Amino acid sequence: MRVFLTGATGFIGSRIVPELLAAGHQVVGLTRSDAGAASLLAAGAEVHRGSLEDPEHLAAGATDADAVIHTAFDHDFSNFVANCEKDGRVITALGAVLKGSDRPLVITSGTGMGTPADGGLAREDVLNLDHPNPRTISERTGQDLLDAGLNLSVMRLPQVHDTVRQGLISPYIDIAREKGVVAYVGEGANRWPAAHVLDVAKLYVSAVESGESGARYHAVAEEGISARSIAEVVATGLDLPLVGLKSEDAAAHFGWFAMFASLDMPASSAWTRQALRWLPTGPDLLSDLRAMDYVLDLHAGAGKAQIQ
């Protein structure tokens, strides 16, 4: 297949490119920079120039594609709601290009959207558009395209990690540096799911090759790691004190991050593993956090909030 990949030079997308090429597919990668274009060409992919700020021009990259994987997202979490709205516009533009065809479109969301209204493990068969995470915008837009007859599936992400980046935990580490303490809310019993970035990349390829229209896949290797466990490892890595906060003090300490700090978000991938024969094998989240170079990361931290 000829696959158009947004976010092709980002944290996850840059790992999807070699997986697609190794499987015999052609890749057209979205980038907005000369450096990104050079890296895609060096990897053996074609280049489509575009940005999230111009959805129609971005989506033109899908015109001659047999399939589309959309991973691009502006990871400036301090403007999270606006960036989720921007993602909805990009998904709409991609849908307009694919309308009237059976070409698969795989979009990206978060596992929280699979959390039942009464709580518990997030599941692939649940669509909770009342979840407080603004990423519901991506899934609502995707559902509109499904209702219009598009061949669309959703990849829901947990905290995707390696020894450099760990999803929301990366800005959490930056906040800890700024405040001089590593904090958790209450007893720190709330949990976050996770998966290694290479396992996630493989799952995207499986989804675009053999996924079902309307399916929602969970790229989850670990169902839930407690906030207290994460904080303990980060405190050791940063050599900072570990503190527990009362819930009423979370907003003052965390700022924009407070909406995530106490969320309990465990998620299952049982159906995904069976449907796509996915067996994650990468390191677990705490192992990657322990192996992280916190001194090096301090100097590289400015690059974390980036567009994928």
Provide mean pLDDT across the span 47-55.
96
Distance set, CA 273 to CA 13, 119, 220, 279, 282 (Å): 21, 22, 9, 6, 15
The pTM score is 0.94
Considering the domain architecture, whether residues 20 and 150 belong to the same structural domain is answered as yes
Residue 93 is assigned to a structural domain of this protein: yes
Most distant pair of Cα atoms in the chain: their distance:
57
* pLDDT tens digit sequence for 15-48: 999 999 999 999 999 999 999 999 999 999 999 9
Which residue in 23, 4, 210 sits closest to 93, CA to CA?
A: 4
Does residue 90 sit within a domain? yes
Query: Does 104 share its domain with 15?
Result: yes
273 is a domain residue: no
CATH code of 287's domain? 3.90.25
For residues 114 and 246, membership in a common domain is answered with no
Query: Does residue 133 share a domain with residue 171?
Result: no
Domain shared by 37 and 173, yes or no: no
pLDDT at 301: 46
Has residue 292 been placed in a domain?
A: yes
For every residue of the chain, DSSP letters joined together read -EEEEETTTSTTHHHHHHHHHHTT-EEEEEESSHHHHHHHHHHT-EEEE--TT-HHHHHGGGTT-SEEEE---B--GGGHHHHHHHHHHHHHHHHHHHTTS---EEEEEEGGGG--TT-SSB-TT---TTSSSTTHHHHHHHHHHHHTT--EEEEEE-EEE-SS-BTTHHHHHHHHHHHTSEEEETTS--EEEEEEHHHHHHHHHHHHHHPPTT-EEE--SEEEEEHHHHHHHHHHHHT--EEEE-GGGHHHHHGGGHHHHT----B--HHHHHHHT----SPPHHHHHHH--HHHHHHHGGGSS-B-
Domains of the chain: total: 2
Q: Count CB neighbours of 140 within 10 A.
A: 15
Other CB atoms closer than 10 Å to residue 184's CB: what's the count? 25
**Average of pLDDT values for 51-74?**
96
- Asked whether residue 17 falls in the same domain as residue 114, the answer is yes
Q: Is residue 277 part of a domain?
A: no
Which two structure tokens, joined as six digits, stand for 173? 């580490």
Asked if residue 232 and residue 107 are part of one domain, the reply reads no
Q: Are residues 129 and 6 in the same domain?
A: yes
pLDDT for 198: 98
Same domain, 114 and 156: yes
Mean pLDDT computed over 241-262:
95
Tell me, yes or no, whether 174 lies in a domain.
yes
- pLDDT tens sequence across 135-152: 999 999 999 999 999 999
Partners of residue 242 on adjacent β-strands:
182
Q: Does 188 share its domain with 122?
A: no
Report yes or no on 274 lying in a domain: no
What is the DSSP pairing of strand 216-218 with strand 182-185?
unpaired
Domain range enclosing 299:
162-193+223-266+282-303
Question: Are residues 55 and 74 in contact, defined by beta-carbon separation less than 8 angstroms?
Answer: no
- Pair 306, 9: CB distance under 8 Å: no
Q: Give residue 131's pLDDT band: very low, low, confident or very high (50, 70, 90).
A: confident
Does 6 share its domain with 55? yes
Do 200 and 294 share a domain, yes or no? no
Mean pLDDT of the chain: 94
Q: How far apart are CA 269 and CA 274, in angstroms?
A: 9
In a domain, 203, yes or no: yes
- Give the percent of the chain with pLDDT over 70: 96
- The residues with which 225 forms a beta bridge, in sequence order, are 192
